[in-house]
Amino acid sequence: MSDYQTIRFHQEGAKAFLTFDRPDVLNALNNQMIAEALDAVRNLPSGTRVLVVRGTGDKAFAAGADLEEMQRRTPWNEIDFGARRELARRLETAPFPTLAAINGYALGGGLELALACHLRIASATAKVGLPETRIGILPANGGTARLTRLVGRGRALRMILLAEHVDAMQAEQLGIVDWVVAPEIFDEEVSSIAHRLAKLAPVSARAIIDTVSRSADMTIDHAIDYEHRWFQICLGSADKQEGVDAFLQKRTPDFGRADNRDRF
């Protein structure tokens, strides 16, 4: 798939940008948008070091599922959520940082995709929530699972059962988002963070994402053993050699100079 109609995608060197682009319906997620977003994520260039996911305009990241399409969805035509689940898992398990840039509403399925990203930055005007109980369903693309891991059982139950919308400052206090910035500098801050993430050593970035993500499901001893195995991999990488050389030579490391084939 190359000519997208519901998303925009562009690459700036090591930085990839995926933008939900249905502003007339607050970037509501329909099957076509999910399919196009999944196609873009499946086919990211090999040199990608950060993926930024955002919505067109300043009103919404993605305001949930397309409800007109929801009327036609049944237990049988989407029994396992298929592409929706794969898209979220690819954002969550990417070997490089994924950053959700939340400007406006991130509700329902939109928030679920943001929660699947490794990091989240929000405009001070943003609002997030999982309002599925209002239409008699539940957030089922990782919403209950990922939100509970971030905010705890009680707060997750309150937000989901009562379909609460949380403003950006509350979301930061609860740990749902990692940064809150003023609307007038939102784009600048997104670009700055993406630039910093793209400059990380790819092997250590992948190691950190993997160890942090897996540690919650391990005993402390198993988690420490697992991170040590990644440490050994890092010790043998070209990135580590470049980082140490740059430190001793009092210069900024250029991890892009190391050949990709020699990273592991």
Examine the fold and report which residue of 164, 182, 198 is the final residue of a domain before the chain moves on. 198
Contacts of 93 (CB under 8 A, 6+ apart): 213
Nearest partner of 211 among 193, 198, 224, judged by Cα: 224
**Average of pLDDT values for 87-102?**
97
The answer to whether position 168 is within a domain reads yes
Residue 95 sits in the same domain as residue 218: no
Q: Which of 132, 172, 188, 189 is catalytic?
A: 132
Whether this model's pTM surpasses 0.85: yes
Q: List the CATH number of the domain containing 218.
A: 1.10.12.10
Q: 186 and 246: one domain?
A: no
| Residues 146 and 78 placed together within one structural domain of the fold | yes
Do 191 and 215 belong together in one domain? no
The catalytic residue among 12, 69, 78, 112 is 112
Q: Does residue 51 share a domain with residue 87? A: yes
Residue 263 is predicted with a pLDDT of 36
Between the alpha carbon of residue 60 and those of residues 30, 56, 125, the distances in Å are 15, 7, 10
92 is catalytic: no
Please give the pLDDT value at position 237. Answer: 93
Residues 96 and 170 reside in one and the same domain: yes
Q: Is residue 156 part of a domain?
A: yes
Would 95 be classed as within a structural domain? yes
**Which domain, by its residues, includes 238?**
202-262
Does residue 223 sit in the same domain as residue 109? no
Residue 2 covered by a domain: no
Query: 169 falls in which pLDDT band (50, 70, 90)?
Result: very high
Domain tally for the chain? 2
Decide which of 66 and 251 is more confident. 251
Q: Indicate if 94 and 206 belong to the same structural domain.
A: no
- Per-residue pLDDT at 153 exceeds 60: yes
Do 91 and 41 form a contact (C-beta atoms < 8 A)?
yes
In the structure encoding, which two tokens stand for residue 261, read together?
């084939």
178, 198, 218 - which closes a domain: 198
Confidence of residue 81 (pLDDT cuts 50, 70, 90): low
Asked whether residue 21 carries a pLDDT value surpassing 60, the answer given is yes
Whether residue 1 lies inside any domain: the answer is no
So what's the pLDDT on residue 77? 61
In terms of domains, do 114 and 49 share one? yes
Work out the percent of the chain whose per-residue pLDDT is above 90. 87
Whether 124 contacts 182, CB under 8 Å: yes
Residues 119 and 175 sit within 8 Å (Cβ to Cβ): no
CATH number of the domain that 20 lies in? 3.90.226.10
**Tokens linked to 49:** 């070091």
User: What letter would DSSP give residue 219?
Assistant: -
Q: What is the pLDDT of residue 260?
A: 44
The question of whether 69 is a catalytic residue gets the answer no
At 243-254, the pLDDT tens digits run 999 999 999 999
pLDDT at 200: 96
> Does one domain contain both 218 and 120?
no
For residues 60 and 189, membership in a common domain is answered with yes
Kindly state the average pLDDT of the residues 176-184. 98
The yes-or-no verdict on residue 96 having pLDDT over 50 is yes
pLDDT at 70: 76
What mean pLDDT do residues 71-94 have? 81
Looking at the fold, whether 119 and 247 belong to one and the same domain comes out as: no
